[in-house]
Structure 1
Amino acid sequence: MTSAFDDLLAANRTYAEHHALKGFDGIAHAGVAMVTCMDSRIDPLRMIGLEPGDAKILRNPGGRVTDQVLVAVVLGVTLLKVQRVMIVEHTRCAMAGSTEDELHERIAERTGTDATWMSLGAINDQERTIREDVHRVRSHPLVPADINVGGFVYDVDTGLLSPVAEA
């Protein structure tokens, strides 16, 4: 019986033949956590010169600091040796290029189902959102004062990060 995942499972078997992270301890060896968008144009580790095992990567639509992301950040900074938290949004992001209503309309057109009950997290002002998310991490009572938090915009066309906020 064939599966829609056969090609991916075959690729995984090839990957596993040379898997280099056996016995890895799971900490962030470079002391970095990155919150970024799920956009496939973003290669979080390589864009900052890191390798697997160096950082904790937290991805969601728009790269927002949600309640669940905050849980992961707290765990990272208290248990997994994270010392720097990067919040990285990006250019030409669907979440920043559409309103909440537009996103709901597109989902309804595609699925035939009203999705207005779901908060999607559209971003109206990217730099303001980044500053707010940096503040949200920095002001969390379980994030120690010695943790560095920065917010950036990643340009998907040039590959460059631009600083927006640091706390």
Structure 2
Amino acid sequence: MGNFDDLLTRNQSYAQTFQEGGFDGVAHSGVLVLTCMDSRIEPLRMLGLNLGDAKILRTPGGRATPDATVGCILGVHLLNVNRIMVVPHTRCAMASGSDQQIAESILERDGTDIRGMVLGATTDQLSALTHDVRTLRSHPLITGLAEVGGFMYDVDTGLLDEVV
């Protein structure tokens, strides 16, 4: 206890002026954004959306992992999602090497051995993005219910580029 006190204090300030409660949990714009966990990405702001407009899923590298795919399926069937945007980004740590290379880097850095874990790292982001978009587009629980697009976000300009 105590390691989160600064955040809880900030939350108290946030809650004092919070007025966005009381509405349902569906995606009012019909959008689900699957993007990276990188803190340089603000999914709602980059699309000109507001709280409650979209569902946001984050994975390392913005990859369509099994859990993210489940989130997409639930979004389509329960949460008003009819458009899915897969959005990796420039200068991503998950694009700096292979799973093996990243695992070796962590081992060298602090002695933690994650070798053998599936991280989804790749230096070929465009191929990975194309693969993830095709996987989601062809999923039997998504096909025909949601449009799926692949985009690259530039963390230095704030611009999205439609790729797939």
> Under a length normalisation based on structure 1, what TM-score does the superposition of the two structures give?
0.94
- Measured against aligned partners, the alpha-carbon deviations of 1:82-123 in whole angstroms (never above 9, x if no partner) come to 010000010000111222222111211233132112111112
Give the 3-state SS of the residue equivalent to 2:95 in structure 1: coil
1:40 aligns with 2:43: no
**What letter matches 2:34 in structure 1?**
V
CA contact (8 A) 2:100 2:116 kept: no
Q: How many Å separate the matches in 1 of 2:112 and 2:6?
A: 31
- Measured against aligned partners, the alpha-carbon deviations of 1:9-43 in whole angstroms (never above 9, x if no partner) come to 01101111122232221000010000000011101
Q: How many Å separate the matches in 2 of 1:81 and 1:69?
A: 17
Aligned-pair CA distance for 1:74: 0.5
Give the 3-state SS of the residue equivalent to 1:95 in structure 2: helix
Which blocks of at least 5 consecutive residues in structure 2 are unaligned?
none
**What letter matches 1:63 in structure 2?**
G
Identity %: 55
Q: How many Å separate the matches in 2 of 1:31 and 1:87?
A: 14
Q: How many Å separate the matches in 1 of 2:139 and 2:19?
A: 35
Hey, what does 2:73 align to over in structure 1? 74
Give the 3-state SS of the residue equivalent to 1:73 in structure 2: helix
Hey, what does 2:102 align to over in structure 1? 103
Which blocks of at least 5 consecutive residues in structure 1 are unaligned?
none
Aligned-pair CA distance for 1:144: 3.9
Hey, what does 2:7 align to over in structure 1? 8
Moved more, 49-58 or 138-147: 138-147
Moved more, 17-26 or 37-46: 17-26
Give the 3-state SS of the residue equivalent to 2:88 in structure 1: strand
Write the mapping of 1:1-167 to structure 2, written as runs, cut at 5 A: 3-165=2-164
**What letter matches 2:93 in structure 1?**
A
Alignment RMSD (CA, Å): 1.2
For these two proteins, the number of residue pairs brought into alignment is: 164
Moved more, 54-63 or 144-153: 144-153
Q: How many Å separate the matches in 2 of 1:113 and 1:128?
A: 29
Q: How many Å separate the matches in 2 of 1:15 and 1:58?
A: 23
Aligned-pair CA distance for 1:60: 1.0
* Segments of 4+ moved more than 4 angstroms: none
